[in-house]
A and B are shown apart, each in its own frame.
Chain A
């Protein structure tokens, strides 16, 4: 139970139950990106208002598991009011923390409360859940069009799909 509790920390469960800045498209939003995990179907759209190099407001919509929802909620709180450079540094730090067994010792100090997400390291199948919103935020901030995908597709083939529905 102990390692499961590390994954489902009370803070994470609380954010999952009451996600912050959820279903919110900030007034004057000028950045957005859509993130998708095709393996599990988690999908989030991040909307941001960035003015004078500062994240004035941020919100998200979509659906996912407890880990991805809580991570998205905490991300919005963490980047709110940060400069673009600070948000970028936070993105790098969180990614480092979640994907490396021995992250840079300075990282822990930089992420603060987001350290509760580190339980996910023991569950490799769930790391993408925790990083999805962060990658999406990163894409939104950089004005990347289209979709962030946890699995990189090589090509999209399309076929006309006719009636029947």
Chain B
């Protein structure tokens, strides 16, 4: 890394020019400027992504891999270049280790049915954690039900960190996979993935990491972490929805049978037999989401141009500010106080149901998420039916944190607390 780059990384993020690149942020909601604090659900899109997608439609739209004409060649080149962008972002060894899918959920399902199902037997175990999103619970449950396997769960502490001391006891001879999130969508906890992978591998257990919440915030190196599978969604990292990627180690993908049939995943078909393409095309049945892939690559490159470290530092400041400020609001309880956190704050407020908080904040132009965040087992763990959640992106400001706090005082006033 050059000295110039290092210098740039230490500069604080100038948020206004960043905000100027997001058309959606410049609007009023209920007569108030929009403060969009629901970034863990989806992030907004910069002009670079919008232009990349519309540019594909305006200049290059053709099906990939099939045509010999110019537009098809350009579309194919852009699509495969997008694969290269994802490879670089994750530091995968080769582009072939990147499979384009609809999102993190589809990627998990792909691994469940193509990788794990053939090697899973009755009585085997799949290990997940108590802080998983439903998308990293339900596919494994469906598999358990079919095979007669069992789901086992790594518990979390009161502060929302994984109880690592329980991990070794849960990693048994029958454990066939450990699936865990890199960053909790409901708590913000950043899990020590490298250490967990090392412990699992010591017992011969492959590891899938759900990076949906991590990729917009933290640097990623699948080789350094030695993860077997890493999945993420484009729309949570400033890219389009309906596109995401599965990273799988080359040897795993090579050994995995096709998941869905049809289209470019096929080498040749007779009515007697079909031969399949090598990965990653083996797993990309049908016409892929070309504009999604191109938009995703634009998003990853845009974030790189901003500087992930600078963005992360800015988000860390927002998190610290918001944590301090929310604690000053009477009755607020923050759920998830891990030492290592992404800029996500889940909270409850005495005498105010999260949905009332959400409605009243919306009236002030402030968008937060309320509900169980598709992590119902985790909500039960903390004894709450739901929380309100403010989640920050690099375009959020300290002024918006102050508006959130003032909004919570307004909640208290409206509800007569």
Contact = CB atoms under 8 A, between A and B. Distances in A.
B30 to A, nearest CB: 9
Nearest to A160: B150
Nearest to A7: B359
Given A69-B353, A129-B355, 18 more contacts: A7-B359, A8-B360, A40-B355, A40-B370, A40-B372, A41-B372, A41-B379, A41-B385, A64-B353, A126-B355, A126-B359, A157-B141, A157-B142, A159-B144, A159-B145, A160-B144, A161-B151, A163-B170
Interface string A120-131: 000101100100
B145 A158 contact: yes
B153 A165 contact: yes
Interface residues on B, range: 20 to 34
Contacts of A65: 353-356
B154 interface: yes
Interface in A1-49: 1, 3-4, 7-8, 13, 16-17, 39-43
B360 A4 contact: yes
B153 A161 contact: yes
B141 A159 contact: yes
A40 B141 contact: no
B415 interface: yes
Contacts of A89: none
Contacts of A67: 355-356
Interface of A: 1, 3-4, 7-8, 13, 16-17, 39-43, 63-67, 69, 123, 125-126, 129, 157-165
B288 interface: no
Nearest to A163: B152
B152 A13 contact: no
19 contacts: A3-B363, A4-B414, A8-B356, A13-B415, A13-B416, A17-B416, A40-B371, A40-B386, A41-B372, A66-B356, A66-B415, A67-B355, A67-B356, A158-B145, A160-B150, A162-B152, A164-B155, A165-B130, A165-B153
Interchain residue pairs A-B with the least CB separation, the first 4:
A41-B385, A65-B353, A164-B153, A159-B141
A40 B170 contact: no
Nearest to B144: A159
B151 A159 contact: yes
Interface in B153-175: 153-155, 166, 170
A89 B88 CA distance: 64
B125 interface: yes
A16 B415 contact: yes
Interface string B157-199: 0000000001000100000000000000000000000000000
B355 A8 contact: no
A140 B360 CA distance: 32
Contacts of A64: 353
Contacts of B371: 39-41
A42 B385 contact: yes
A8 B415 contact: yes
Interface string B324-341: 000000000000000000
Pick from B144, B150, B151, B359 the residue with the most CB of A within 10 Å: B359
Given A16-B415, A64-B353, A67-B356, A162 B151 contact: yes
Interface in B105-153: 125, 130, 141-142, 144-145, 150-153
A159 B141 CA distance: 6
Nearest to A5: B414
Contacts of A161: 150-153
Given A41-B379, A162-B152, A123 B142 contact: no
Contacts of A63: 353, 385
Given A65-B353, A129-B355, A8 B155 contact: no
A160 B158 CA distance: 25
Given A13-B416, A164-B153, A4 B385 contact: no
A164 B170 contact: yes
Contacts of B125: 162
